[in-house]
Structure 1
Amino acid sequence: MFTYLLVALGILVGQTPLGWAQPLAGPEGAGVDQVEFIYDEAPFPECHASTIEQTTKGTLVTAWFGGTEERHPDVGIWVSRLSDGKWSFPVEVANGVQADGQRFPTWNPVLFQPQDGPLMLFFKVGPSPREWWGEWMVSSDDGVTWQHRARLPNQGIGPVKNKPVQLADGTIVAPSSTEDNGWQIHVELTRDLGKNWTKIGPLNGDELGAIQPTILLHGQNRLQMLSRDRNGQGNIWQCWSEDGGKSWGEITSLGLPNPNSGIDAVTLKDGRHLLVYNHTVRGGPFPSGRDMLNVAVSRDGRSWEAALTLERVEGEFSYPAVIQSRDGMVHITYTWNRQRVRHVVVDPAKLKLHPVGDFDVKQ
Structure 2
Amino acid sequence: MHAASLVELRDGRLRAVWFSGSREGAGDVTIQSAVTDATGLRWGAESTLFDRQALQQGLWRYVKKIGNPVIARAPDGSLNLWMVNVSLGGWAGSSITWARSTDEGASWSAPRRLVTSPFLNISTLVKGTPVIFENGETGLPVYHEFVAKFGEVLRISPQGQVVDKVRIPGSRTSLQPVVLVSGPQKAQVYMRSGNATALMASSTTDAGKTWLPAHASAWPNPDSALAGTMTNSGTQWLALNPAPRNRETLALLQTATGGSFDGVTPWIVESSANPQARTSMGDYERLLTQELKARGASDGEAQAYVASARRQLCGGQSCSQEFSYPYLLQSRDGYLHLLYTWHRTRIKHVRLDPLQTLEAAQAAPGHVSSGK
Q: Distance in 2 between matches of 1:277 and 1:188?
A: 24
Corresponding position of 1:240: 203
Q: Which residue of 2 aligns with 1:87?
A: 43
> Residues 193 and 301 of structure 1: is their aligned pair in 2 closer, same or farther, counting only changes over 3 Å?
farther
Give yes or no for contact 2:242–2:249 (8 Å, CA) kept in 1: yes
Q: Distance in 2 between matches of 1:102 and 1:136?
A: 16
TM-score, normalised via structure 1 length: 0.77
Q: Structure 1: any 5+ residue segments left out of the alignment?
A: 1-46, 283-288, 355-363
TM superposition shift of 1:101: 8.4
Query: Which of residues 209, 225, 235 in structure 1 aligns to 2:173?
Result: 209
Question: Which residue in the other structure is 1:76 paired with?
Answer: 30
Q: Aligned pair in 2 of structure 1 residues 83, 186: CA closer, same or farther (>3 Å)?
A: same
Question: Quick one: which amino acid aligns to residue 102 of structure 2?
Answer: S
Task: Decide whether the 8 Å contact of 2:330 with 2:337 is kept in 1.
Answer: yes
Partners of 1:172 and 1:121 lie apart in 2 by 13
SS in 2 for 1:198: strand
Structure 2, unpaired ranges of 5+: 273-319, 361-372
Residue 54 (1) aligns with residue 8 (2)? yes
> Counterpart of 2:363?
none
Q: Report the counterpart of residue 327 of structure 2 in structure 1.
A: 321
Q: Partner of 2:267 in structure 1?
A: 308
In the alignment, what sits opposite 2:71? 111
CA distance 1:338–1:270, shift in 2 (3 Å): same
What is the TM-score when the length of structure 2 is the normalising length?
0.76
Which residue matches 2:233? Answer: 270
Aligned to 1:167: 133
Counterpart AA for 1:88: G
1:180-222 Cα distance to aligned partner (Å, 9 max, x none): 12111111012425234322126336xx400000000110221
CA 1:307/1:353 → structure 2, altered by over 3 Å: closer, same or farther?
farther
In the TM superposition, residue 96 of structure 1 has moved relative to its aligned partner by 2.2
Q: 1:101 and 1:193 mapped to 2: Cα distance?
A: 22
Deviation at 1:53?
1.1
Distance 2:239 2:247 in 1: 12
Change (3 A) 1:353 1:301: farther
Alignment match, 2:251: 294
Q: State, as a whole percentage, how many aligned pairs show the same letter.
A: 27
Which of the residues 85, 88, 91 maps onto 1:129?
Answer: 91
* 1:54–1:61 CA contact under 8 A, matched in 2: yes
**Quick one: which of 154, 159, 163 aligns to 1:197?**
163
SS class of match (1:338): coil
Q: CA deviation at 1:103?
A: 4.5
Instruction: State the 1:253 CA deviation.
Output: 1.6
| Superposed counterparts of 1:350-361, under 5 Å | 350-352=356-358
User: Per the alignment, do residues 342 and 274 of structure 1 end up closer, same or farther by CA in structure 2, a change over 3 Å counting?
Assistant: same
Change (3 A) 1:154 1:142: same
In 2, distance between residues paired with 1:176 and 1:95? 22
Who is 2:149 aligned against?
A: 183
2:108 is aligned with what amino acid? W
Q: Deviations over 1:240-292 (max 9, x none)?
A: 1112112111211221111000001001111111000001011xxxxxx0100
Structure with the largest fraction of helix: 2
120-129 vs 189-198, greater mean Cα deviation: 189-198
The structure-2 alpha-carbon separation of the partners of 1:195 and 1:102, relative to structure 1 and needing over 3 Å to count, comes to closer
RMSD: 2.1
Pair 1:218-2:201 in alignment = no
Task: Give the secondary structure class of the aligned counterpart of 2:111.
Answer: strand
Q: CA deviation at 1:132?
A: 1.2
Q: Alignment length, in residue pairs?
A: 299
**Structure 2 CA distance for aligned equivalents of residues 120 and 315 of structure 1:** 33
* Preserved CA contact (<8 Å) 2:192 2:226: yes
CA distance 1:129–1:202, shift in 2 (3 Å): farther
User: Relative contact order, CA 8 A, sep 6+: which one is greater?
Assistant: 1
| 8 A Cα contact 2:82 2:97, kept in partner | yes
**Deviant stretches of 4+, over 3 Å:** 99-103, 154-159
